[in-house]
Amino acid sequence: MAETIFSEMSRLALEHDAINLGQGFPDTPGPREVVDSAVAAMHKGWNQYPPAVGIASLRHAIADHQRRWYGLDVAADGGVVVCSGASEALSSAMTGLLRPGDEVIALEPYYDLYGATAALLGATLVPVRIHAPDYALDAAALRAAVTERTTMIVLNTPHNPTGAVLSRAELQSIADIAIEHDLVVLSDEVYEHLVFDDNVHVPIATLPGMFERTITVGSGGKTFSVTGWKIGWATGPSSLVEKVLGVKQWFSFAAGTPLQHGIATGLELPDDRLAHLGDDLARKRDLLTDGLRELGLEVFHSKATYFVTADVAPLGVTDSLEFCRSLPERVGVAAVPNQVFHASPEGVETQVRFACCKRDEILADALLRLRKL
């Protein structure tokens, strides 16, 4: 279990006083109401252990959010568990449902936690690649990846690192396969409110026959730009959510009490506030995309998330991992090589992920530094 690429790039950024466009965290304080609510909770003395499942006000806010936005009937008692970040929700779900020898399918590129957790459990992650530039789902390849040992599909939409947003038709293809083979779907939807332009996020749990076989994972940290708070959750039928809680209670037991109060306040903000969370980020995506293209790079259009993917081959690069490891010292910018999100780097050797969730002046400075290349 080596150091993660995110830790490595952030460490190099600190060592060389580089702008960190590698790890996906914003550099803004988050909505004032959310922060004030957490601070108020601290002053009220709400600083002790909460229930392992999460405080009641946050669980009800999560359940109400799923109903308002997606029409999903999630029970606040039994259908929601609050975790120490979405990462804990994902790893707890996999730990609760996978056994040694099981196979779990994930769209590739994939968040590295999926593969690490599968390996720890003695399960096998089976990648199904989606390809640049459009990152469309190959339903035939997904179907071909299913074997008698397959028990789960890990779905990530909006997708990290590509910024893809799966269409309803693509999700239906996944649903058809899951139902046909009686598979559980673990749906990582942490960027659900950070969708750009006219793209629409559709939770797979809303499709016919899918709620009862889907664990949906969300993130207050991602939604409200407070990633260090590590407040995430899993929702779904009680029969699946209890598996998440059964494991999670032995990991962290509970997440920060006052921070849960803050996220509950955020989820109760007017819907139009949540609907526009991605607007400013879309503008930052454009700023970074345009700047990288001016440097001669091929940039793949990002429809969502914190990230933009570019091909650095025009700079003479042949290995993005080597390129990213040297970048902080060479020009004072950190980024992440996309090959670490793949089982094999073949075909993506020169792709790099850049985070656009920074202040405008930081992005401008980073682009200026990159011109040294």
pLDDT digits over 13-59, tens only?
999 999 999 999 999 999 999 999 999 999 999 999 999 999 999 99
What are the strands, taking DSSP E only, across the chain? 19-20, 80-84, 103-108, 124-129, 150-156, 184-188, 214-219, 231-235, 298-300, 307-311, 333-334, 336-337, 351-355
Give the pLDDT score at 225.
96
Overall pTM surpassing 0.75 (yes/no): yes
Beta carbons of 227 and 196 less than 8 angstroms apart: no
Give the pLDDT score at 2.
76
Beta carbons of 170 and 137 less than 8 angstroms apart: yes
Confidence class of residue 353 from pLDDT cuts 50, 70 and 90?
A: very high
| CB burial of residue 13 (10 Å; 0-12, 13-18, 19+) | buried
- The phi-psi region of residue 78 (left if phi > 0; otherwise alpha if psi is between -120 and 50; otherwise beta) is left
Q: What is the pLDDT of residues 224-274, one digit of tens each?
A: 999 999 999 999 999 999 999 999 999 999 999 999 999 999 999 999 999
Beta carbons of 370 and 323 less than 8 angstroms apart: no
Interatomic CA distance for residues 255 and 281, integer angstroms: 27
Summarize the confidence of residues 200-229 as an average pLDDT.
98
Whole-number average pLDDT of the chain: 97
Over 90: is that where the pLDDT of 5 sits? no
Over 90: is that where the pLDDT of 286 sits? yes
Q: What percent of the chain has pLDDT over 90?
A: 98
Q: In angstroms, how far is CA 145 from the centroid of its own chain?
A: 23
Q: What is the pLDDT of residues 85-138, one digit of tens each?
A: 999 999 999 999 999 999 999 999 999 999 999 999 999 999 999 999 999 999
Beta carbons of 156 and 188 less than 8 angstroms apart: yes
Q: What is the pLDDT of residues 189-198, one digit of tens each?
A: 999 999 999 9
Tally of CB atoms within 10 A around 365: 15
Going along the chain from its start, the domains and CATH numbers come out as 5-30+276-370 (3.90.1150.10), 32-268 (3.40.640.10)
Summarize the confidence of residues 201-219 as an average pLDDT.
98
Q: How many residues does the chain have?
A: 373
Q: Which long-range contacts (CB under 8 A, 24 or more apart) does 226-229 make?
A: 226/30, 226/34, 226/35, 226/259, 226/262, 226/263, 227/24, 227/25, 227/26, 228/25, 229/38, 229/256, 229/259, 229/262, 229/263
173-178-180 Cα angle (round to 5): 95
Give the pLDDT score at 10.
93
Give the pLDDT score at 200.
97
Over 70: is that where the pLDDT of 1 sits? no
Q: b or e along 15-30 (b: 16 or more beta carbons within 10 Å of the residue's beta carbon)?
A: eeebbbbbbbbbeeeb
Tally of CB atoms within 10 A around 97: 20
Interatomic CA distance for residues 29 and 175, integer angstroms: 38
Cα pseudo-dihedral 237, 243, 247, 248, rounded to 10: 0
